[in-house]
Amino acid sequence: MTRYECRTGRICMDMTTFWMLSKMGWLATKLYNTAMWNSRKVWEDSGKIPTGYDLQKVVLASPHHAMLAAHTYQHPAHQVGNAFKSWFKLRKNDTTTHPPGFRKKEKPSSFLFTRYGFKIIDQNTLSLTLTKPFKEQINYPHKRLTIKLRWSTPFPKEGVIQQIEVIPRKGYFEVHAKIMLPQPRWKTKGIVVAVDLGQKVPIAAVGEDQRLDLYKGGGIQSLKRYANKTKKRVAKEVMARTKGGKKWSKPLNRMSKKFNNQFKHSLHSLTTHFTRECVKRKTKEVVIGDLKNIKKEKDGTGKRWKKKGKAQQNWQQFPLRTLVAQLGYKLARHGIRLTEQDERGTSKGRCSICGCKDRKHIHRLHRGMFHCDNCKNTQHADINGAKNQLARYLHQETKVSAGSSGCLAQPLVHRWDNHNWSTIVAT
């Protein structure tokens, strides 16, 4: 499996570069609108959404396409196709939604360069291919346009840029790059750490070194609850001030963005913190339960959007999939493998200390504690789950640890304090 990472950066500007990139952006907008105009016509005439092939033809028929590189001019067609597809899906449930609209004529769009559209000079320098008509129209003497990039986060060593998207911002251009990474040298020596994923405790980890870790999600959840409350309050005020006409305002939008960024930051801190700890402990592999069983309703549809029970109103799902994705690539940077394994029956059904599976003897107590009558031990339910996970992975499920006391080391508890993940030893 090929590994990719994304980086964003800024293009260092001079007048010519700025002007030429703006021109490309305008052409992209033109092509987008052409494809959009055609799609809407097809829709009105036949009631069908146009196929990707049709849109490609429309774009090719436009005189503007010759100005842009091969894959660059196809991108707007894809975007229109996708916009129509997602609208078509929405329409099945809600017939009042409007079809996708045109872009503003004077506003440049983002545009894409695939591997054929640019050459890499070094990590910070690319040269973009220019087409003949483009050069002729603006009288540009060189074959290629060289751009200098400034990455916002360090560029990965040995990474190769596969594709870039140039995005116009106010007064500058941003680059989103898709970077291919070489296969990591996977570690062969070290310990295995098992992780139990959960809503209240996103990560409960047990290592072969007997260390226990609990990452509590309460801080993040309360941040989310606070954000929702505040957003609702401000939205109400905006509604009242404009006599119900407006549901949106600039400050409200800015606030949502801020909350969103805070949340993203906390999640990234969590995965970074965990990864760092794994590296310190000389981990070679991290085992998690597979995500198929998580975050799905009984009917298998995923989240239930429509239900608005009071208890559910403020309840936010913890984005475990995102968490696992982040863990995957962050651990891989250090050569630590992330393995998924079937976790059915690991968290509730078994006592990790004596291996008891009798439902009469094991109970879940208040606050996520797990008690076993057989060996008279109480421990955190998620730690119990992680221990079972580890035992299953190491094929030690049948092995029962000697002595009924087992290993009851105190877990390290990590909490989000709005800035950092601070660690306390539970008492």
Query: What residue ranges bind Zn ion (CB under 5 A)?
Result: 351, 353-354, 356, 372, 374-375
- As measured in angstroms, the least distance from the Cβ of 398 to Zn ion is 14
Can you read off the two tokens belonging to residue 245?
A: 């006409």
> Strand, coil or helix: what is 132?
helix
SS3 for 16-84, per residue?
HHHHHHHHHHHHHHHHHHHHHHHHHHHHHHHCCCCCHHHHHHHHHHCCCHHHCCHHHHHHHHHHHHHHH
Beta strands (DSSP E) in 123-261 are 125-129, 144-151, 160-168, 173-181, 191-197, 203-207, 212-216
Looking at beta carbons only, is 142 or 376 nearer to Zn ion? Answer: 376
Neighbours of 116 (CB within 10 A): 11
- As measured in angstroms, the least distance from the Cβ of 392 to Zn ion is 16
> Strand, coil or helix: what is 362?
strand
- As measured in angstroms, the least distance from the Cβ of 399 to Zn ion is 14
Looking at beta carbons only, is 285 or 382 nearer to Zn ion? Answer: 382
d(CA 376, CA 353): 10
- As measured in angstroms, the least distance from the Cβ of 238 to Zn ion is 56
d(CA 260, CA 254): 10
Locus of tokens 């609208």: 87
Looking at beta carbons only, is 12 or 400 nearer to Zn ion? Answer: 400
Looking at beta carbons only, is 59 or 351 nearer to Zn ion? Answer: 351
Q: Could you give the residue ranges of the DSSP H alpha helices within 316-420?
A: 320-332, 381-393
Looking at beta carbons only, is 112 or 375 nearer to Zn ion? Answer: 375
- As measured in angstroms, the least distance from the Cβ of 211 to Zn ion is 21
Question: What does R_g of the chain's alpha carbons equal in angstroms?
Answer: 27
The secondary structure element, H or E, covering residue 280 is helix 250-280
- As measured in angstroms, the least distance from the Cβ of 220 to Zn ion is 32
- As measured in angstroms, the least distance from the Cβ of 195 to Zn ion is 22
> Strand, coil or helix: what is 117?
coil
Looking at beta carbons only, is 334 or 361 nearer to Zn ion? Answer: 361
Looking at beta carbons only, is 33 or 377 nearer to Zn ion? Answer: 377
Strand partners of residue 7: 177
